[in-house]
């Protein structure tokens, strides 16, 4: 079935469509239009076709937007014989979230080529309708790698990685994009280690990585805290000269990887050497500094960004700025910036700004003011907001406010209850601890198991709380016992106030020997290279006991330990932590 060759009107139509839908898919960067097409645009206007909507630099992203009645225009111009035009329309409807309309176009076509099917599958995969995507997939006469990849990507987006993996393994003739789709799909579903394994397999099978691959692999390193792997990717790209230079996107991904793996110096190094930086780049740098405890440097960086003048700060920039203020305890500076965001910079406050502000105020003990912000904010406070208040309450031992926060939270997760319970324990209110336990059981609240990962010689090991499955478990256990006895000599006492990450686990084991970060630290002492920092990434917050443990290990064994917790970094050196015990 030979597709019909498009005529001039087709291109005119495609151009309009593209203009009309550009704002529906802003993440895709459109290449500049070649001059010939620009002429077409003028001609299209002369034909009294509907003018393309104005392209805005930062369009808000509506889930659904109305498309001009282009379908009617398609018929009017007599473009029905051209598959390409229908396909483009299917894609446009799909991108705007109007899958039903896409399907109508699809069903109305007299002939369909592979692209039609692929576009339709992709449309269903954008919207998460896996069943329909599969139904169309079954009907494709000659699936190409594109068809398969669309399915893989769609399944990943819908969260069914296992099935995506099956499709991926079964597909004939994988191309680079297929690998990329699977790698980034794994990263997006919190399986960075598997993503890196796949990346290695891809190289072993002789595929040459492209931008997408590198971006996917770097974000896998972020997820797993794989600094060595990240460095290796950096070196690999340089050695193979995969790209002419690290542009804004690649450079941002690289520096973000370094920052999120706790290597701020390397991140700064990348940052200074980039030949062009956009807002994202600055944001990643500011945020990276703030997360790593370099609050003052983060604020300096923001000032430099303003002086630089080539980029404009956006919402995310101020999240970094507020985060820096919060971690540095700069309440007044933070308050000032918070009020400037709208007034001076003309940026609308979003819920995340309020969360940062509440965090800043609550953390520094201004609990009443934080509560006032919450009650006065224009949008409905979400869990994160209440959680920020709650963790401030824990730091400053305000039981009453903490109870308010938990009760206001819709569907509080296990961590929230644990936080409240820790607070009860800290002030010695054991009946409260019991209440929390009962509430959790009656509501059947799912516990998130603690998980830490550590990279040793370029391979990443994951530990779950209380997990005994690691092949070197007996050695790890022996190491923990050794650490324990050396600590006792130093007069270390277990801090029982915050014993439980996980209520039932605590019942099973009275000792704290099995929080995942302890396993990982012990393993780092055994397997890591001496004098090289032990780097750990964990999914939950640090408990006070493990934080103490890490400090002491850094002192006793003279090893730097870097732990990335859910929100920030802890750099332990000789018994002190960069967070100043304030997290």
Partner DNA sequence: CTCGAAAACC
Q: Which residues within the stretch 110-149 sit at the binding site for DNA (CB under 7 A)?
A: 113-115, 118-119, 122, 125, 144-147, 149
- As a whole number of angstroms, the distance between CA 236 and CA 67 comes to 44
- As a whole number of angstroms, the distance between CA 113 and CA 140 comes to 9
Distances, alpha carbon 235 to alpha carbons 206, 244, 271, 529, in Å? 18, 14, 16, 20
DSSP 470: S
Q: How far apart are CB 341 and DNA at their closest, in Å? A: 13
Is 88 near DNA (CB under 7 A)? yes
Q: Which of 190, 532, 567, 576 binds DNA (CB under 7 A)?
A: 567
What's 343-394 look like in SS3?
A: HCCCCCCCHHHHHHHHHHHHHCCCHHHHHHHHHHCCCCCCHHHHHHHHHHHH
**Interface map 379-418 toward DNA (x if CB under 7 A):** ---xxxx-xx--x---------------------------
Strands (E), 105-235: none
Identity of the residue, 180 or 452, whose beta carbon is nearer to DNA in the bound complex: 180
Considering only residues 182 to 241 of the shown chain, the ones binding DNA according to CB under 7 A are: 184, 188, 210-213, 215-216, 219, 222
- As a whole number of angstroms, the distance between CA 306 and CA 318 comes to 12
Q: What does the chain come to in residues?
A: 583
- As a whole number of angstroms, the distance between CA 198 and CA 556 comes to 38
Largest CA distance in the chain: 87
Considering only residues 20 to 49 of the shown chain, the ones binding DNA according to CB under 7 A are: 27-28
Identity of the residue, 150 or 452, whose beta carbon is nearer to DNA in the bound complex: 150
Q: Which of 67, 70, 83, 432 binds DNA (CB under 7 A)?
A: 83
Q: Which of 566, 574, 580, 582 binds DNA (CB under 7 A)?
A: 566
Q: Which of 127, 132, 180, 414 binds DNA (CB under 7 A)?
A: 180
Q: How far apart are CB 147 and DNA at their closest, in Å? A: 7
Identity of the residue, 181 or 305, whose beta carbon is nearer to DNA in the bound complex: 181
Q: How far apart are CB 559 and DNA at their closest, in Å? A: 27
Q: How far apart are CB 424 and DNA at their closest, in Å? A: 18
CB 148 within 8 A of CB 184: no
CB 401 within 8 A of CB 367: yes
Structure tokens at 180: 């990329």
Q: Which of 3, 159, 329, 449 binds DNA (CB under 7 A)?
A: 3
Considering only residues 260 to 299 of the shown chain, the ones binding DNA according to CB under 7 A are: 260, 278-281, 283-284, 287
Considering only residues 322 to 381 of the shown chain, the ones binding DNA according to CB under 7 A are: 323, 326, 351-352, 355-356, 359
Q: How far apart are CB 387 and DNA at their closest, in Å? A: 4
Torsions phi, psi of 451, nearest 5?
-140, 130
Residues β-bridged to residue 577:
572
Identity of the residue, 381 or 432, whose beta carbon is nearer to DNA in the bound complex: 381
Identity of the residue, 202 or 520, whose beta carbon is nearer to DNA in the bound complex: 202
Identity of the residue, 175 or 495, whose beta carbon is nearer to DNA in the bound complex: 175
Structure tokens at 257: 């990887």
Structure tokens at 315: 């919402």
């Amino acid at each position: 079935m030979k597709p019909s060759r498009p005529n001039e009107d087709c291109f005119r139509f495609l151009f309009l469509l593209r203009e009309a839908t550009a704002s529906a898919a802003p993440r895709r960067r459109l290449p500049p239009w070649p001059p010939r097409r620009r002429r077409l645009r003028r001609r299209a206007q002369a034909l009294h076709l509907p003018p393309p909507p104005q392209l805005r630099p930062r369009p808000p992203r509506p889930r659904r937007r109305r498309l001009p009645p282009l379908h009617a225009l398609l018929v009017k111009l007599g473009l029905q014989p051209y598959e390409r035009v229908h396909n483009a329309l299917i894609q446009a409807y799909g991108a705007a979230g109007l899958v039903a309309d896409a399907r109508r176009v699809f069903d109305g076509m007299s002939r369909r080529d592979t692209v039609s099917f692929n576009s339709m599958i992709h449309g269903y995969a954008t919207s998460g309708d896996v069943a329909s995507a599969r139904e169309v997939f079954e009907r494709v006469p000659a699936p190409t790698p594109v068809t398969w990849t669309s399915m893989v990507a769609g399944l990943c987006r819908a969260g069914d990685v296992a099935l995506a993996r099956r499709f991926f393994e079964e597909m004939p003739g994988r191309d680079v994009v297929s690998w990329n789709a699977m790698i980034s799909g794994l990263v997006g579903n919190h399986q960075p280690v598997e993503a890196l394994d796949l990346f290695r397999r891809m190289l072993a099978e002789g595929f040459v990585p492209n931008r997408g691959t590198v971006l996917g692999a770097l974000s896998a390193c972020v997820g797993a805290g794989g600094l060595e792997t990240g460095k290796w990717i950096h070196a690999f790209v340089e050695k193979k000269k995969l790209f002419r230079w690290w542009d804004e996107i690649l450079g941002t991904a690289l520096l973000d990887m370094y920052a999120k793996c706790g290597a701020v110096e390397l991140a700064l190094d990348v940052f200074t050497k980039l030949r062009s930086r956009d807002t994202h780049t600055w944001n990643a740098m500011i945020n990276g500094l703030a997360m790593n405890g370099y609050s003052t440097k983060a604020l300096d960086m923001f000032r430099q960004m303003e002086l630089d003048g080539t980029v404009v700060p956006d919402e995310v920039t101020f999240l970094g700025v507020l985060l820096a203020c919060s971690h540095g305890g700069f309440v007044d500076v933070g308050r000032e910036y918070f009020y400037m965001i709208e007034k001076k910079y003309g940026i609308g406050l979003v819920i995340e700004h309020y969360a940062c502000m509440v965090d800043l105020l609550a953390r520094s003990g201004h609990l009443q003011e934080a509560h006032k912000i919450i009650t006065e904010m224009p949008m409905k406070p979400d869990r994160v907001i209440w959680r920020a208040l709650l963790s401030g309450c824990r730091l400053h031992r305000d039981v009453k406010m903490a109870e308010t926060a938990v009760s206001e939270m819709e569907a509080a997760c296990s961590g929230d209850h644990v936080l409240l319970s820790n607070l009860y324990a800290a002030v010695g209110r054991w009946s409260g601890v019991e209440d929390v336990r009962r509430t959790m059981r009656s509501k059947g609240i799912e516990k998130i198991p603690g998980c830490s990962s550590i990279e040793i010689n370029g391979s990443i090991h994951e530990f779950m709380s209380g997990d005994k499955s690691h092949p070197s478990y007996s050695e790890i256990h022996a190491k923990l016992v050794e650490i324990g006895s050396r600590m006792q000599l130093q007069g270390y006492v277990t801090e029982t106030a915050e014993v439980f990450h996980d209520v039932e686990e605590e019942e099973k084991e009275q000792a704290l020997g099995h929080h995942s970060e302890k396993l990982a630290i012990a393993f780092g002492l055994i397997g890591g290279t001496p004098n090289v920092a032990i780097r750990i990434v964990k999914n939950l917050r640090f408990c006070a006991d493990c934080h103490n443990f890490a400090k002491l290990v850094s002192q006793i064994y003279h090893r730097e330990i870097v732990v990335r917790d859910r929100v920030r970094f802890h750099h332990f050196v000789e018994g002190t932590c960069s967070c100043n015990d304030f997290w």
